[in-house]
Structure 1
Amino acid sequence: MPSFSAVLAANKQNAPKAIRPVAVLVGGTSGCGRGVAEVLAKYAQGNAHIVLVGRSEEAANEIFASFPKPVDGAKYEFVKCDVSSMRNVGIVTRDLASRLDKINYLVLSTGLLSLAGRRPTEDGVDYKIAVHYYSRFKFAHDLAPLLEKASTAGEPTRVLTILDSFMGAPSGVRPDDMTLEKNYSLQNAALVATTYNDGAIAALAKRYPTVSFSHANPGIVNTNAHRDMPFGIKQLTGLVATLISSPITTCGENMVYTLFDPSIPTGAHYRTPKGEDVKGKPNLSDADIEKIWQHSIEICDGK
């Protein structure tokens, strides 16, 4: 397990220096995504094109104000998107595909904590799972050709989804109830989102073999993901997080360690908060992975 000082040293050494990386961070205006954005900007020293996709332009502008000044045509931009709607995600991915030449880093970290029951979206899936999984799949699926362009040029190309690389299991795949209409519970919703992320990166890695896909657990991080909780629980959750969690910048360094590490090959990877391979990860069968792929395409494709 690398120490945090070793992570910092590795990130400084492995940061891309000969290229201008393009980074798209979905959920990059808060929480872990913001931490990753700030760390990427720090190491790029103004020589990067960073796109933050989120809900709040005000938050994005506040983040950009803390970044190094962009140099020689580099830039920072905000794209507004309600990721619970696959139609809205499609609008954003088509826009990005029409004007970006490549993507080196795609970071997916949208999330929330909620005690609400199943809340169907316009796509017929639960709101929480839409945020934690379906939108992430659609961004990765739609933008994969831009990632391939970077890899074809010999540049680093990484997709990182940040959720829970420990919990996913084959029991999260219910062939007769993929959208959890029959078996919904908060626990099942969390298991499905995690398992589908596991399966999706394996399926995507198979179809895009020149791109590296990772699913990382960030550990306990002091974010505002509990913003939608009832007031009392939100206050308690915030207090506990303050006492035992790590800052978002620490999370950002640890996640960027996975993005920058040149020793990580292409394919699908499951990572700890420190950037190590998850041990004892339950493997999904090829049939489970294909079921997740086909279901995800049915929900997300053509939107």
Structure 2
Amino acid sequence: MVSLQTVQAHNATLKSLAPGLVAVFVGGTSGISLSTALALARHTSSPKIYLIGRSQSAADSAIASMKSINPSVQPTFLQSDISLLKNVDSVCAEIAAKEKKLNLLFMTPGYMTLKGRDETAEGLDRKFSLHYYARMRFISNLLPLLITAAQEDPSSDSANTRLSRVVSVLDPHVAVRAGGSGTLDFSDLSLKNTFSLQKCGAHASLMGDFFLEGMAQRHRHTSFLHTYPSGVATGVMRELPGGGVLAAVLKPLLRAFMVPIQESGERHLFAATSGRYPPKAEGEGMEGDVAVGSDGTKGSGSYWVSWDGEVFPENKKLGKTREEGAVEKVVQHTDEVFKQVCEEGKTYP
């Protein structure tokens, strides 16, 4: 376990970074994403923080909190329903028009539901889109800015130690929790024909795992993390019938087993900035405290990280799925979805 003291000590060093670190928080007006954005505002100088969400009032409150912590923060709210990939493209185009680089892409969008398959106008399930497709579309669209940050001259006044990182918060191991199979249905990756909520959760997690591995292999100067937050008091239950009442009842009962929201923000800022999780180009052969990557290789550039900063141990079920060509098949499928929906304007079949 990475102690909270170690996390706090690292985060305190971020003041030494040059001003102007650029970060995008998808789902950034509440929960873990907002708590991490607030931690970034607390520990850095004049950061440029983009919050992406649906609620203007929540964004106004978030921005007020940021400015009370750090008057030099430069926040921007982009309002959008990013369950539609066309909206993801629009938001990314706005960011690309304003920024030349991006140091951190941090993503938490999603929700709990009791519905079955809930198709968007693009032919994708809404929950699946938020947990997987929209997140990976943000990565694909914003990679040029992440690459620019990774190539920044470290001697320049604006350099931020070439920080270039993607963090997707969900759960790398949900597919094997409680005895799950850890497998993918390669014949129906989008679950168009075999959807269930349990299968959707497993697919979103696993596909995120392997897509990030593929990105780390292709883009050796950016690191990619899939993190498990453990139990944190957020608004994730708000769309369930009676979710607000249920959350109010459960919160005091589960408090002893949950990570406080501010601690979660500090820990996720550590995950988002620590040299413990280097990109592949730097991690290969690197000595010292370097995490083992998701493929079992130290410093591989792709990391499956638990709430306490430690990486998940090797899992035979997930290893077998990888051996079945999961990285290549998931990346190929995702590229096909993006081509049909985003480039050709079609509904995914």
TM range (shorter): over 0.9
Which amino acid in 1 is paired with 2:311? Answer: D
TM-score for the superposition, normalised by structure 2: 0.81
Aligned with 1:269: secondary structure? Answer: strand
Match of 1:287 in 2: 325
- CA distance in 2: counterparts of 1:181 and 1:293, whole angstroms: 18
| RMSD, matched Cα | 1.8
Deviations 1:167-215 (A, max 9, x none): 2468442121111122211110100110111011011112211100000
Which amino acid in 2 is paired with 1:188? Answer: K
Shift of 1:5: 2.2
Q: Give the alignment of 1:217-256 within 5 angstroms.
A: 217-231=228-242, 234-244=244-254, 245-256=258-269
Structure 1, gaps ≥5 residues long: none
Q: Percent identity?
A: 31
Aligned with 2:101: secondary structure? Answer: coil
Match of 1:82 in 2: 81
The answer as to whether partners of 1:104 and 1:157 remain within 8 angstroms in 2 is: yes
- CA distance in 2: counterparts of 1:56 and 1:195, whole angstroms: 29
- CA distance in 2: counterparts of 1:242 and 1:152, whole angstroms: 47
The answer as to whether partners of 1:85 and 1:121 remain within 8 angstroms in 2 is: yes
Q: 2:310 aligns with which of 247, 253, 276?
A: 276
The answer as to whether partners of 2:14 and 2:43 remain within 8 angstroms in 1 is: no
Distance 1:96 1:285, change over 3 A: farther
Aligned with 1:209: secondary structure? Answer: coil
Which of structure 1's runs of 4+ aligned residues deviate more than 6 A? none
- CA distance in 2: counterparts of 1:277 and 1:207, whole angstroms: 21
Distance 1:42 1:14, change over 3 A: closer
Distance 1:98 1:84, change over 3 A: same
- CA distance in 2: counterparts of 1:29 and 1:247, whole angstroms: 17
- CA distance in 2: counterparts of 1:197 and 1:137, whole angstroms: 8
Match of 1:5 in 2: 5
The question of 1:35 aligning with 2:41 is answered: no
The answer as to whether partners of 2:32 and 2:234 remain within 8 angstroms in 1 is: yes
The answer as to whether partners of 2:111 and 2:239 remain within 8 angstroms in 1 is: yes
Which amino acid in 2 is paired with 1:167? Answer: V
The answer as to whether partners of 1:222 and 1:242 remain within 8 angstroms in 2 is: no
- CA distance in 2: counterparts of 1:252 and 1:285, whole angstroms: 35
Match of 1:260 in 2: 273
- CA distance in 2: counterparts of 1:299 and 1:242, whole angstroms: 42
Match of 2:211 in 1: 200
Distance 1:158 1:279, change over 3 A: same
Aligned with 1:229: secondary structure? Answer: coil
- CA distance in 1: counterparts of 2:16 and 2:335, whole angstroms: 33
Match of 2:296 in 1: none
The answer as to whether partners of 2:21 and 2:103 remain within 8 angstroms in 1 is: yes
- CA distance in 2: counterparts of 1:160 and 1:173, whole angstroms: 22
Shift of 1:246: 2.6
Count of residues in correspondence between the two structures? 299
Comparing 209-218 with 180-189, greater Cα deviation is found at 180-189
Which amino acid in 2 is paired with 1:288? Answer: A
- CA distance in 2: counterparts of 1:277 and 1:15, whole angstroms: 26
Match of 1:118 in 2: 117
The answer as to whether partners of 2:226 and 2:305 remain within 8 angstroms in 1 is: yes
The answer as to whether partners of 2:24 and 2:51 remain within 8 angstroms in 1 is: yes
Distance 1:285 1:234, change over 3 A: farther
- CA distance in 2: counterparts of 1:126 and 1:81, whole angstroms: 17
Q: 2:164 aligns with which of 150, 157, 160?
A: 157
Match of 2:282 in 1: none
Match of 2:221 in 1: 210
Q: Give the alignment of 1:162-177 within 5 angstroms.
A: 162-168=169-175, 171-177=182-188
Distance 1:10 1:142, change over 3 A: same
Deviations 1:239-292 (A, max 9, x none): 223432233211111111111212322111110101111113423237211111
Match of 1:62 in 2: 61
